[in-house]
Amino acid sequence: MTTLAPQLNTSYLFDARGIAKRFRHAAIFGALESLHDGEVMRFVNDHDPLPLLEQVRQRYGQQVSFRYAERQPEMIVIEFQISLGQPQESAPASGGGCGGGGGCGCSGQ
């Protein structure tokens, strides 16, 4: 029996536009945490999620890198890549979830 090695740079689509804004950050963190080393999540959104990107930096450190694949009004595409060999920074004591209106700046209606 042959065991297949995990494929690096596997990409998964995450379209946040269909998720209620108050649930987006929690859903994104859950999706990121389910990825394996080398995998990529292609994130699509209707606005530039700058507060979310800062939360990702604080929560995951260098274990999650990202780059904009597209950055147009109403169409943002960001590729997040997992690198488990990198150091993880500790999460802030206040927690990282966005309750949708808790001041993250990302839940505008």
Query: What are 60-97's pLDDT values in tens digits?
Result: 999 999 999 999 999 999 999 999 886 665 544 334 44
Please state the pTM of the whole predicted model.
0.72
Question: Would 97 be classed as within a structural domain?
Answer: no
- Would residue 98 count as lying in a domain? no
Instruction: Give the residue numbers spanning the domain of 41.
Output: 19-82
Could you give the percent of the chain with pLDDT greater than 70?
70
Contacts of 18 (CB under 8 A, 6+ apart): none
105: region left, alpha or beta (phi > 0 left; psi from -120 to 50 alpha): left
- Does a structural domain hold residue 43? yes
Q: Would you say residue 23 lies in a domain?
A: yes
